[in-house]
Chains A and B, each alone.
Chain A
Amino acid sequence: MLKIKDLHASIDDKEILKGINLEVKAGEVHAIMGPNGSGKSTLSAVIAGKEEFEVTQGSVELDGEDLDEVAPEERAHKGVFLSFQYPVEIPGVSVTNFIKTAINESRKARGMEEMPANEMLKMIREKSELLDIDRKFLSRSLNEGFSGGEKKRNEIFQMAMLEPKLAILDETDSGLDIDALRIVANGVNKLKSKDNAVIVITHYQRLLEYIVPDFVHVLHNGKIVKSGGKELALELEEKGYDWIKNEAVV
């Protein structure tokens, strides 16, 4: 589904991604770990098409199509979803209004009719129940004054509504309390199928106990320096990153 080949990306002439190779197939869960500043969020932004980053070499392909010329909103229409590490606030725009606009824009791009209001309402009800979100919350301005955990839960709510093909969760676990973590992880698991894929970016093993990855990758200094199965996450939890950094140097 997603094929990243020798991807280099920079911002203001500063190279941040230095040759990433990654393949994600339908039905898989990949975890990306790595020290602060190693380029995890940058990688997710580049996959999502953020134009501030310049791809200087290599490619990102989705279902065989090179995304280089594809605008961020079109990537979204093709089923790419990014749960932001730092979701932004949009004052005066309610969660409901926002998600309704997002869904209908995507449908329009796919040549579909707008979603009828009752269907939309039904879906909102289902998904907010799935993620244990209070309905009152949905009429509040998007992310404005939300607590850290509320923001993350709201990202996953949007994901649930949009039903993406490829979801990238950038530190969705940070800020969530223990119960919320379980609820959100369950939500993600319920949405998983053999047709979609998830990339989980996290610092903690804990989330991976719920969302069990097929592969774990370690990103360091703009490169994937180690890949393995779910045991790798445990090993990292125990030993930290130094041994990998050292290994990478050697």
Chain B
Amino acid sequence: MAYTEEELKKELETKEYEYGFYTDIESDTLPVGLNEEIIIAISKKKEEPDWMTAWRLEAFKHWKEMEEPDWANVHYKKPDFQAISYYSAPNKKPKYNSLDEVDPELLETFKKLGISVDEQKKLAGVAVDIVMDSVSVATTFKKTLAEKGIIFCSISEAIQEHPELVKKYIGTVVPQRDNFYAALNSAVFSDGSFCYIPKGVRCPMELSTYFRINQAGTGQFERTLVIADEGSYVSYLEGCTAPSRDENQLHAAVVELIALDDAEIKYSTVQNWFPGDKEGKGGVFNFVTKRGLCEKNAKISWTQVETGSAVTWKYPSCVLKGDNSIGEFYSIAVTNNFQQADTGTKMVHLGKNTRSTIISKGISAGKSQNSYRGLVQVNSRAENARNFSQCDSLLMGNECGAHTFPYIEAKNKSAQIEHEATTSKIGEDQIFYCNQRGIDTEKAIALIVNGFSKEVLNKLPMEFAVEAQKLLEISLEGSVG
């Protein structure tokens, strides 16, 4: 990680949200509002088979009967779900054979994001499937993957070309009626990624997707489905940036992971949606449902670095169904200014000898509120389940808050559950010590925060760790002094 800090510093001269630009690409947007016609229209636009349309409509039926939850430690003005447009796609049809065919403005956008496809292509071992607004517009490395029988494409494409897989697995981990936002997503999801790793195959590269909200007043409803067949392995990276906009933008994604017997999935996220300005205006509402299912001897690791969004509501979870399966959750959540985050995980131990690890690092600055909420549930038949949880909070200043809500439900006496929690504050003495060694305050904070977050940063793939460090620094700039 050594060389990166310097590189990062150079890029950090500007204090405003770096990715706050808006690309002017003609979009094909449905009228605002939500009803059955709109859902049918979405499904039709995407040329979906009837079973998919029916599945969406069923979700919508559930959603209408549900209420937006309010148990989380966040306060915001509830979105008006009838004032949102549920579909927008870049206008020019996104089937390109080469980059030359891609809308130059779009390429420009990617460049600003620092993730031009060209560059990504060269980056060793990273296949990129970029979601611009709602529709995938570029997919690379497909051929290499295809040779191994790996399917990595947009979910729309998967619905067309691998309906049997989608039909078999979609909604099996996060059912349509799981929660309010998941039901909404199931009804209106626009696009997202699909990934299937065949039996015994080790995916030779990190798979990555970049998401981005780009259309005024457009909600984003990605749907991601990752299936690791028996004995396979995949590492999946998801990174998000969003342009700054005044009105709140809703983001309600669903991610389902399925790790069959002896399979392993690593899912890493760097989330940097627009957090709102210094006065707390604007910013993305991020209500995400992420869950993975582990069969026998399977393993799922969630690693997340959450720096963005005005409101975050997110609990990547593992259902440890198979015996000897393992669930891990490593998280860094940063809040600054008026951001609010209520995030954590759920580890549900169903099988015997199941193990889970939770490492959560919360960093709060400004007037923000940062809550960890975690549930460790041990079923009565889960003999010898083990969990270790560690929740550390780092506070900067006196106006922010850190909260920890650990819930434990153990129905089997053999369960071993350990929970540790610490709260610390960046002290003036630490800063002075760094200053005395020639390190200015901003850099000192970055150093202290990196140190605090190290256990989690170390879990990220190298190229992502770089991005993550950069985001930590950007998000905390100007928070002391």
Bound together:
yes
Q: Which residue of B lies closest to A92 (CB)?
A: B451
Note all chain A residues with C-beta closer than 8 A to B443.
101, 105
A26 at the interface (CB under 8 A from B): no
A76 and B430 in contact, given A91-B451, A93-B448, A93-B451 (Cβ under 8 angstroms): no
B437 at the interface (CB under 8 A from A): yes
Contact B447 A71 (CB under 8 A): no
Note all chain A residues with C-beta closer than 8 A to B454.
92
Q: How far is the CB of B353 from chain A (nearest CB, A)?
A: 32
Q: How far is the CB of A172 from chain B (nearest CB, A)?
A: 15
Which residues, 143 to 183 on A, are CB-close (under 8 Å) to B? 158, 162
Contact B436 A76 (CB under 8 A): yes
Q: How far is the CB of A88 from chain B (nearest CB, A)?
A: 5
Note all chain A residues with C-beta closer than 8 A to B447.
90, 93, 97-98, 101
Note all chain B residues with C-beta closer than 8 A to A158.
437
A1 at the interface (CB under 8 A from B): no
A42 at the interface (CB under 8 A from B): no
Q: How far is the CB of B100 from chain A (nearest CB, A)?
A: 39
Note all chain A residues with C-beta closer than 8 A to B453.
92
Contact A102 B433 (CB under 8 A): no
CA distance A116 to B323 in the complex (A): 50
A114 at the interface (CB under 8 A from B): yes
Give the residue among A92, A104, A162 with the most B Cβ atoms within 10 A.
Answer: A92
Contact A98 B437 (CB under 8 A): yes
B5 at the interface (CB under 8 A from A): yes
Contact B451 A141 (CB under 8 A): yes
Contact B427 A88 (CB under 8 A): yes
Contact B6 A104 (CB under 8 A): yes
Note all chain A residues with C-beta closer than 8 A to B6.
104, 114
B384 at the interface (CB under 8 A from A): no
Q: Mark B426-440, 1 if CB is under 8 A from A, else 0.
A: 011110111111111
Q: Which residue of B lies closest to A93 (CB)?
A: B451
Q: How far is the CB of A238 from chain B (nearest CB, A)?
A: 35
CA distance A49 to B440 in the complex (A): 13
Q: How many residues of A contact B (CB 8 A)?
A: 38
Q: How far is the CB of B64 from chain A (nearest CB, A)?
A: 48
Q: Which bucket holds chain B's interface residue count? A: 20 to 34
A71's contact among B427, B434, B435, B437, by CB below 8 Å, is which? B435
Note all chain B residues with C-beta closer than 8 A to A77.
438
A88 and B440 in contact, given A71-B435, A76-B435 (Cβ under 8 angstroms): no
B2 at the interface (CB under 8 A from A): yes
B169 at the interface (CB under 8 A from A): no
B450 at the interface (CB under 8 A from A): yes
Note all chain A residues with C-beta closer than 8 A to B448.
90, 93
Which residues, 98 to 140 on A, are CB-close (under 8 Å) to B? 98-106, 109, 114, 117
Note all chain B residues with C-beta closer than 8 A to A99.
437
Q: Which residue of B lies closest to A100 (CB)?
A: B2
Q: How far is the CB of A49 from chain B (nearest CB, A)?
A: 7
Note all chain B residues with C-beta closer than 8 A to A45.
432
Contact A88 B439 (CB under 8 A): no
Contact A76 B437 (CB under 8 A): yes
B452 at the interface (CB under 8 A from A): yes
Q: Which residue of B lies closest to A51 (CB)?
A: B432
B435's contact among A73, A81, A101, A103, by CB below 8 Å, is which? A73
A60 at the interface (CB under 8 A from B): no
Contact A72 B5 (CB under 8 A): no
CA distance A93 to B443 in the complex (A): 13
Q: How far is the CB of B313 from chain A (nearest CB, A)?
A: 28
A97's contact among B2, B440, B452, by CB below 8 Å, is which? B2
Give the residue among B430, B434, B450 with the most A Cβ atoms within 10 A.
Answer: B434
CA distance A48 to B434 in the complex (A): 12
Note all chain B residues with C-beta closer than 8 A to A71.
435, 440
A29 at the interface (CB under 8 A from B): no
B451's contact among A84, A90, A109, by CB below 8 Å, is which? A90
Give the residue among A99, A105, A117 with the most B Cβ atoms within 10 A.
Answer: A105
Q: Which residue of B lies closest to A161 (CB)?
A: B437
14 contacts between A and B (CB under 8 A): A45-B432, A48-B432, A49-B435, A52-B428, A73-B439, A76-B438, A82-B436, A88-B430, A90-B448, A92-B452, A92-B454, A93-B448, A103-B438, A141-B451
Name A's B-contacting residues (CB within 8 A).
45, 48-52, 71-73, 76-77, 80-82, 84, 87-93, 97-106, 109, 114, 117, 141, 158, 162
Give 3 nearest A-B pairs by CB, closest first: A92-B451, A93-B451, A76-B438
